[in-house]
């Protein structure tokens, strides 16, 4: 096989997209879950420590299947950090609020820091396509993914942070109903992922491109 053919095949493969997503998912999910764990431990809850979540080791935070789907579709998940706000030195609702917000805020901080690094390096946003990703492409995906993780965890759907937070804010008598409701929201998330997996590529790229363009324009100012 000639070098020209090999070069054409290499350029046709979405290597830059996959590698950029691998970096973004690993870093963003580690920061998100470590944020939960650190704040919980700081408030006196030793659950994350007992679970081995007080670490920068991404293997303790990243879920294999969630990472694989994230590489393919750009949407995945990580291992949820367990915590018990009743073990903290603060009232449980306040502790749950602080711990729940720590994950998304860690992603926002990482996003802002990455934007600052791009500005310092004089790099503009670049969408990866093929070949080896450039620094600008990796950092662009990192910014976008951290923004996405922060925003999606504001949805009141299980297992996102907003849903788990409301569990500690609603009256005790309503907790059973709220736990039952989590099954329906899990099904909704599952159906959405399945629809994404079987969606025609043209529609998938149109939706993701439109959503990315909106976020770039109105949130990131790109």
DSSP-derived letter for residue 62 is B
Both tokens assigned to 107: 């992603």
Q: How far is Cα 25 from Cα 18, in angstroms, rounded to an integer?
A: 10
Q: Of 33, 45, 137, 161, which residue is the catalytic one?
A: 33
- Alpha-carbon gap, residue 179 to 172, rounded angstroms: 11
> With contact defined as beta carbons under 8 Å apart, do 78 and 103 qualify?
no
Residue 74 to residue 28: CA distance in whole angstroms: 12
Q: What is the DSSP letter of 217?
A: I
Tell me whether residue 33 is one of the annotated catalytic residues.
Answer: yes
The per-type count for the chain, helices as H runs and strands as E runs, is: 9, 0
Structure tokens at 104: 């998304």
Look at the chain and count its residues.
222
Which residues participate in catalysis according to the annotation? 33
């Amino acid at each position: 096989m000639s070098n020209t053919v090999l070069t054409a095949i290499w350029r046709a493969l979405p290597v830059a997209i996959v590698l950029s997503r691998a970096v973004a998912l690993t870093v963003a999910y580690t920061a998100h879950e470590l944020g939960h764990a650190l704040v919980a431990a700081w408030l006196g809850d030793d659950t994350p420590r007992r679970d081995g979540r007080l670490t920068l080791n991404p293997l303790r935070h990243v879920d294999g299947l969630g990472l694989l789907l994230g590489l393919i579709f750009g949407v995945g998940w990580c291992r949820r950090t367990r915590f018990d706000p009743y073990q903290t030195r603060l009232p449980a609702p306040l502790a749950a609020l602080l711990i729940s917000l720590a994950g998304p805020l860690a992603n926002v901080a990482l996003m802002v820091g990455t934007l600052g690094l791009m500005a310092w390096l004089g790099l503009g946003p670049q969408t990866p396509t093929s070949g080896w990703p450039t620094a600008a492409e990796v950092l662009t995906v990192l910014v976008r993914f951290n923004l996405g993780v922060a925003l999606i965890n504001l949805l009141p759907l299980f297992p996102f942070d907003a849903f788990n937070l409301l569990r500690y804010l609603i009256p005790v008598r309503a907790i059973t109903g709220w736990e039952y409701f989590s099954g329906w929201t899990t099904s909704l998330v599952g159906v959405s992922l399945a629809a994404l997996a079987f969606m025609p590529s043209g529609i998938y790229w149109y939706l993701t491109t439109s959503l990315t363009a909106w976020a770039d324009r109105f949130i990131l100012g790109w």
